[in-house]
Structure 1
C-alpha cells in the first residue's frame, strides 16, 4: 500500500515531530472549501533539453520542464505525492453492439495527440511510445486530443470511455491531497467539462485486469469553464501554437501518424480537485481515480464499473461538447499544499507552548528538593 513515495523528492524540510503533524493538520483542516478550484499560476523546474529524435513523421525536440508548483485560491500546491503505477484507457470497441469489435461501423480504436510546436512544426516535448507514458511523464508540452469524442466517421475521435489512474496495492489519502489537470483551450475559454470519480477495489471487467470493480460514489461533474485563466506554458508564454496527430493502434503512439495538422493558437488552463471534493476523507484507502466524459450518466456508483454499458457511457459523445476536453499529459501524481511561512511560525509557537506545558507538568509531579 502506497502512503507517500513519489516521482520527485519533497522540497520542504519539515521538523520531524508529531506535534508539528497535529498542528499542520489542524491548520489545513480549517481551509475546507467545496468543489474544484481554478489554477491561477504555475512555476516550472529548470528546462531539460535532450537531443532531437524523429518518429512517425514527427520531430521531437525532447524538452522537459517539470511542474514545480501551482497557485490556487487555496494556496500553492507542489507535486511530492506518489505517482500512479499505471494509466489505463478503456474503450468500447464494439459500439454497434453486434459482438465483434473494431469493425468499420464501430467507433475507432485510435489516439490523437495534441502538442505545442516551434516555427518549424517540431514537437517541443518528448517522444512517448504510449498514452500511458504520456500521462506518467507529466510533460505539459503534449496531451490527448478529444479523448472522449465518439463517432465512426471521424478518425480523430479517440473513442475513450474512461481513463483509470491505478495505484498498485492502493493509496491511503492524506488530508488536503489533491489532483491537478490541464486543458489547452481557445483564447478566452476556461476549460471543458468532465467527470472524475475515485474507485476502491479492482478486478477483472470486460476481460481486463486491474479494472475498477467498485467506486466510492458517482463522482464529481466539473462544469465547462471551471478552470482558471491562462497560465504560462512550458515555453513561458500565455499561449502557444499547437498541432494534432492521430495514431491508429489503440494506446500505442508508435508507427506513423496521420492527419498531422495545425489546431492554431491555444492557451493552457488548469484546475485543482481535492479528494475531499470527491467525497474521500483522509485515511480512506483508494485504488485510483477515473476521468470520464461529462455526459457519462451514472445513477449509482455501480453504474460506473462497466464502460461498455451504453446506458451510462454514451457511444455518441459529441467531440465538440463533452468530448472536447484536451487533457494534457498530466494528473498522475498526487499534489499537496506548500506550507506557508506563517505555518512554520505557528508550528514553532505551538511546540514552544507544548514544551512549557510539559515542563510544568513534570515539575508538578517531580518537585525539586529544597
Structure 2
C-alpha cells in the first residue's frame, strides 16, 4: 500500500507566515498608512477677526502602515521655512484650510499667525491648500519648497526612522509630492547646504485605498500677504468649503537612500515637477528654475498637495525584541519535528 503524500498541518503554515511577516517588517519601505492613533488637547476659545477658533489640537501619536509596522511619533520640528520664488510673478499668496468646528461659523484648531506655524504642531485639524501652486490668482503662492528643521546640530538617523506625509483629499485622488532629506544646514542663514540619498516621489497610488482619517468639513482661508496671517490679514475666509478625509504615506530612511548613522537635520517637501539632474546638490537653490519650475499647477497633481499640519515629525518604528523572533523560530522547530514524528507514524502503520 502506497502512503498518500501529506502536507504540513495548517498551523505550521500559519507559523511560517507569521515568521515571514515578522522578518519582512524588519525592512520598512515607502508605503501607505492605514491606521492612526491620536491624542486631543483643548484650550479656551479665541476670536480672530470676529471668527471663533476652538483651539483644539488632535495630534498623531502612532500610525500603522500597510505592512502592519507600528511607528511612534518622536522628534518634532520646531521650525519650518517657506521657500518662495518671489520673481515668478504669480502672486505671493497663501491658501490654507481649517476643520469646521462644533458649531456653524467656528473652526476647531488654534489659529495660525504665520504659514510656517500653520504646518507645524502635529495637528490634523488644519493645513495648507494647493501648497506648491504657481497658478495666477488667489491660489498661486510661488512656494517652491518647504524645509522642516528637526535639529540645527543634527541627529543620527536609524534604519527604523521614517517620515510621514498626510494629504487632505478623497481616496485614490491624493496629490503628488517629492521629499528629500537635509544633510547639511547653515545655522546663520537658516537654510540647507546639502541633501543626501535620493529625491523620492510620492504619488496617488502610494496612499493606498483607504484614508486613515475619515471625511470632515473644512473651509479655505486665503491671504495675499505671503507668510503673514495675523489679525487683519484675511483675504477672505469662505471662498470654498468641502468634505474630505486625510490619507498618509510613510517614507523610510532606506527609501530615501540613506544609511543608518547618517547625520540629518530635517527634510524638505517640494512640488512633483522638481528635478535634480541626478545630483542632490541641485536641490539647494530653490530659485534655480532649471530644477524648480515656476509654472507648477495646483490642480494637476504636481503642486496641489493639501498638507495636513502633521509635518516635521520623525517617527520611529517599533522593533520586536529578539526574544520574539526566537520564540517564533522555536515554535516553528517544535511544530516541524512534531509533524515529522506524525509522518513517520503513518508510514509505519502503512508498511
TM over 0.5, yes or no?
yes
Question: CA 1:272–1:30 in 2, change beyond 3 Å: closer, same or farther?
Answer: closer
Shift of 1:70: 0.9
Please state if 1:83 is matched with 2:76.
yes
Shift of 1:339: 4.3
Please state if 1:201 is matched with 2:184.
yes
Please state if 1:110 is matched with 2:93.
yes
Q: Which residue of 228, 234, 237 corresponds with 1:257?
A: 234
Secondary structure of 1:79's match? strand
Aligned pairs for 1:1-370 within 5 A: 31-34=26-29, 36-45=30-39, 47-95=40-88, 106-118=89-101, 119-151=103-135, 153-166=136-149, 167-186=151-170, 188-203=171-186, 209-233=189-213, 238-255=214-231, 256-261=233-238, 262-299=240-277, 300-321=279-300, 322-339=302-319, 343=321, 345-346=323-324
Shift of 1:157: 2.0
Secondary structure of 1:278's match? coil
Unaligned runs of 5+ in 2: 1-21, 329-351
Confirm or deny: 8 A CA contact 2:276 2:283 kept in the other structure.
yes
Per-residue deviation, residues 8-43 of structure 1 (Å, max 9, x unmatched): xxxxxxxxxxxxxxxxxxx87862254x10011111
- After TM superposition, the score normalised by the length of structure 2 is 0.79
Question: CA 1:279–1:161 in 2, change beyond 3 Å: closer, same or farther?
Answer: same
Which is greater in Rg? 2
Q: Matched residues in 1 for 2:246 and 2:111: separation?
A: 20
Secondary structure of 1:307's match? coil
Question: CA 1:85–1:65 in 2, change beyond 3 Å: closer, same or farther?
Answer: closer
Question: CA 1:38–1:110 in 2, change beyond 3 Å: closer, same or farther?
Answer: same
Task: Indicate the RMSD between aligned Cα atoms, in angstroms.
Answer: 2.4
Q: Matched residues in 2 for 1:117 and 1:176: separation?
A: 36
Per-residue deviation, residues 332-351 of structure 1 (Å, max 9, x unmatched): 111012345xx47428979x
Question: CA 1:33–1:275 in 2, change beyond 3 Å: closer, same or farther?
Answer: closer
Confirm or deny: 8 A CA contact 1:77 1:335 kept in the other structure.
no
Secondary structure of 1:133's match? helix
Question: CA 1:38–1:190 in 2, change beyond 3 Å: closer, same or farther?
Answer: farther
Shift of 1:230: 4.0
Q: Matched residues in 1 for 2:326 and 2:294: separation?
A: 56
How many residues are matched?
Answer: 301
Q: Matched residues in 1 for 2:251 and 2:173: separation?
A: 16
Unaligned runs of 5+ in 1: 1-26, 96-105, 351-370
Shift of 1:248: 2.3
Per-residue deviation, residues 285-334 of structure 1 (Å, max 9, x unmatched): 01221101000121021211111111111111011021110011112111
Shift of 1:224: 2.5
Could you list the runs of 4 or more consecutive aligned residues of structure 1 that deviate by over 6 angstroms after TM superposition? 27-30, 347-350
